[in-house]
Structure 1
Amino acid sequence: MELKTSDRVVVPTIIGISVLVPALVLVLMYLPERYDFMGLELGSFPFFHAVLNFCTAILLIAGFYAMKAGAIKLHRNFMITAFFLSAVFLVSYVISKISNDPVPYGGEGVLRYVYFFVLITHIILSAIIVPLVLFTMYRGLTGEVEKHRKIARYTFPVWLYVAFTGVLVYIFMAPYY
């Protein structure tokens, strides 16, 4: 199967971004020194991230139902807005990692195990969701409906899980910020 001219540019770009983003976040987590990059208090970032994740989850669900109802333009608009909020989240998350030391989870007992299960699955799927979302958006915006549908079957539940667990991580961590 021959790649379209646009695929020859977009596919390697998506792959590059998909490798670069998780690598950048990993590097930032282990910075030896933090930089007060905007003078914001630590507590403002996690709450903002939780709000973005919550709104993203709502938009994803609304977009799913719009698509099921055949409201394709509305579906597209919900998904583009969810993508935009996720991009804002990513930029804000990177700024927060540059600006603030990591905060350890202080919970004990069963909640500690639940928290780390949620956190670890959230982190792993956060890396996986980057190429899924980018390819899904690309195929949808270029009108490649069948390819869009095939990948969206996987993208939607993973993206929704990542958004939802992002809120859960905030709820678990809120007492420790």
Structure 2
Amino acid sequence: MKVDLAKEKKFNKLINVVSVVIPLVVALLFGVKLPNVEPLRFLPPIYASVNGLTAILLVVAVIAVKQGKLELHKKIMTGCIALSLAFLVMYVAYHMTSDSTTFGGEGPIKYVYYFILITHIILSIVIVPMVLRTFAKAYLQQFEAHRRLAKFTFPIWLYVAVSGVVVYLMISPYYGN
């Protein structure tokens, strides 16, 4: 298959821009508190559930592709990207209307929590360009390159999705305290 270098170059530029803009915008919006807006305290269990659903669908998508169900794989992966975007919007909305919650655990569990939280945050930034590049390779029908990237993208994305649920479960007793 002939590679359309111009199209790939455009994708790469867009991916680079999006990969820088998303973390910057999230960081900036984290510092913004909307005045006179009711805190959206109902969102954390919803966006944690979205992370959980994303994790499940990532596994189902891998099973589908291994079974040769390429159209199903494509639909599920597109859905996972949409779910990740929905998570991001809800997460930012929550933090723009609510104060951050402090983890109240003591002893070794506190270190476990912060390890999971920090790796989750770092990898959630790293995964954005990885997902977009992996998706672009499939879109451009560069399936061998797509498979090579997906071998790294999948476990990191799965970790980010699962660790997001774990972070929520660990901090949920401290919401509203």
Q: What TM-score does the superposition give when structure 1 sets the normalisation length?
A: 0.92
Between the aligned partners of 1:137 and 1:105, the Cα distance in structure 2 is 35
Between the aligned partners of 1:37 and 1:8, the Cα distance in structure 2 is 45
Structure 1 residue 3: deviation in Å? 6.7
Between the aligned partners of 1:24 and 1:102, the Cα distance in structure 2 is 17
Secondary structure (helix, strand or coil) at the match of 2:154 reads helix
Q: Which residue of 2 aligns with 1:158?
A: 156
Structure 1 residue 134: deviation in Å? 0.6
Q: Which residue of 1 aligns with 2:174?
A: 176
CA distance change for structure 1 residues 137 and 36 in 2, over 3 Å: closer, same or farther? Answer: farther
Structure 1 residue 116: deviation in Å? 0.4
- Unaligned residue ranges in structure 1 (runs of 5+): none
Q: Which residue of 2 aligns with 1:56?
A: 54
Post-superposition CA distance 1:91-142 (Å, at most 9, x none): 1112122212211111111110110010000000000000001111111122
Aligned-partner residue type, residue 64 of structure 1: V
Q: Which residue of 1 aligns with 2:27?
A: 26
Aligned mate of 1:149, from 147, 158, 161: 147
CA distance change for structure 1 residues 68 and 38 in 2, over 3 Å: closer, same or farther? Answer: farther
Indicate if the aligned counterparts of 1:53 and 1:163 stay in contact, CA closer than 8 A: yes
Larger mean CA deviation between 139-148 and 54-63 belongs to 139-148
Between the aligned partners of 1:151 and 1:163, the Cα distance in structure 2 is 18
Structure 1 residue 175: deviation in Å? 0.5
- Residue-pair matches, total: 173
Cα RMSD of the aligned pairs, angstroms, is: 1.7
Between the aligned partners of 1:37 and 1:72, the Cα distance in structure 2 is 48
Aligned mate of 1:76, from 74, 79, 84: 74
Aligned-partner residue type, residue 171 of structure 2: M
Secondary structure (helix, strand or coil) at the match of 2:99 reads coil
Aligned-partner residue type, residue 49 of structure 1: Y
Aligned mate of 2:117, from 116, 119, 130: 119
Indicate if the aligned counterparts of 2:16 and 2:129 stay in contact, CA closer than 8 A: yes
Between the aligned partners of 1:60 and 1:34, the Cα distance in structure 2 is 33
Indicate if the aligned counterparts of 1:36 and 1:100 stay in contact, CA closer than 8 A: no
Task: State whether structure 2 residue 83 is matched by structure 1 residue 85.
Answer: yes
Secondary structure (helix, strand or coil) at the match of 1:35 reads coil
Aligned-partner residue type, residue 17 of structure 2: G
Q: Which residue of 1 aligns with 2:34?
A: 35
Q: What TM-score does the superposition give when structure 2 sets the normalisation length?
A: 0.92
Q: Which residue of 2 aligns with 1:12?
A: 13
